[in-house]
Structure 1
């Protein structure tokens, strides 16, 4: 039993499994490496793409055309070769992206937009100033990395951090709870010295219909 598990509070989702927080299904399996072959294949694929664009300095249009040519030649050879050797041609359903994936993506985008609006409206000043600080820091980091490198680093974090967090959840939750307490102390000082001195208008009550 871990020494960090005495605190029942969880940093992500309390006691809810991380697999459920990530939406369950195939996406969660990939991020948590439940399907190691698929997760490794995606990671290798993105690494190859990053290598071609960043190291080899491949042009996007050229790469897209070359990949399309290669895929077309493979499909052509497979489809016509299957008839010769009396085998089934490639299944078209394997090339079709399921509609559920789009619905899941749109749901996440809509939730992000709603959350963005709530934070931007200033209903929670603590979250508002934390978001401003994060964006300011991230914009500074962007000055030292190009967009492709940032996207690749973000993908690496997305492909590794959830799995590492699931494995070392108790330790991370303990360190996060300690850091959260320190942040609350700093925020209280900041709130007392600055935020409480900001003049605010009267709060209007919402009309009920």
Structure 2
């Protein structure tokens, strides 16, 4: 009986990281504020973002709010709360509302914009490199991925797709970092099994296809 396992199974050691990654996942994600949020280093802020995104999805997708209506209703509610609070402060001696002039610091926007700009430029450079045919494997993988995404888009609304994408960004990196060894072990076993299947298919089918000899 033919065996399809070989020493090539050991080419991908179980200690190798997923996708050939050499740096920690925090460094791969940028190593800044965005990486801290995605990896839940700041638990409160990450949870607040996830809850806010889920609430927005619920209001737009389930309640059927429009963006303008939601902004108006939120503004009306906020103004009413501040008005009642201010009026009650004069009547009942409450502490008057103290609203900070700067909700977010300028450095927060600058860091976010800088990270987004860098990632976008790297993405465009990679797309150009792949589209020019420099990496055939990545080219066909990109074509297939875009096609699959277009098919999914026919059955899932853009809002649901964005929410699902944001949900994955908020959960998958964190879960991967937490259970890295288990994920790497599963990935190693899957890759080894794929290699064996490819060799078996090549030996049982492709290898039996008659080929025309050169010189005839």
Aligned equivalent of 1:39: 46
Report the Cα distance in structure 1 between the residues aligned to 2:33 and 2:87, rounded to whole angstroms: 32
Q: CA deviation at 1:87?
A: 7.3
1:82 touches 1:89 (CA, 8 Å); kept in 2?
no
| Rounded Cα–Cα distance in structure 1 between residues aligned with 2:196 and 2:131 | 21
- Distance verdict in 2 for CA 1:69–1:12, change over 3 Å: farther
Residues 76 and 102 (structure 1), Cα distance of their counterparts in 2 relative to 1, 3 Å cut = farther
> Alignment partner of 1:51: what SS?
helix
Highest CA radius of gyration, 1 or 2?
2
The answer for the alignment partner of 2:58 in structure 1 is 51
Partner residue of 2:132 out of 121, 134, 146: 121
Question: Residue by residue, what CA displacement relative to the aligned partner does 1:82-107 show, whole Å, maximum 9, x if unpaired?
Answer: 99867794332324553121111111
Q: What is the CA–CA distance in structure 1 between the aligned matches of 2:150 and 2:179, rounded to whole Å?
A: 30
Deviation per CA, 1:93-144: give whole Å up to 9, x if none: 3245531211111111111111111111111111100111111111111111
CA contact (8 A) 2:153 2:161 kept: yes
Task: Name the residue aligned to 1:176.
Answer: 187
Q: Is 1:63 the counterpart of 2:70 in the alignment?
A: yes
The residue matched to 2:103 in structure 1 has which SS?
Answer: helix
Aligned to 1:93: 102
CA distance in structure 2 between the aligned counterparts of 1:80 and 1:98, rounded to whole angstroms: 34
Between the aligned partners of 2:117 and 2:19, the Cα distance in structure 1 is 22
User: 5+ residue gaps in structure 2?
Assistant: 1-12, 207-216
TM-score (norm 2): 0.72
The answer on 1:19 being equivalent to 2:19 is: no
> Which residue, out of 164, 169, 172, partners 2:175?
164
Closer, same or farther in 2 for the Cα pair 1:39/1:119, shift >3 Å?
Answer: same
Residue 151 of structure 1, aligned match among 154, 159, 162: 162
Tell whether the 8 Å contact from 1:19 to 1:29 is kept in structure 2 after alignment: yes
Checking the alignment, whether the CA contact within 8 Å between 2:85 and 2:96 is kept in structure 1 is no
What is the aligned length? Answer: 186
Shift of 1:68: 3.0
Does the aligned pair in 1 maintain the 2:59–2:65 contact within 8 Å? yes
Q: Structure 1 stretch 94-103 or stretch 111-120: which is displaced more?
A: 94-103
How far, CA to CA, are the matches of 2:67 and 2:197 in structure 1? 49
Cα RMSD for the two superposed structures: 3.3
SS in 2 for 1:92: coil
Which 10-residue stretch deviates more, 50-59 or 78-87? 78-87
Report the Cα distance in structure 2 between the residues aligned to 1:36 and 1:106, rounded to whole angstroms.
26
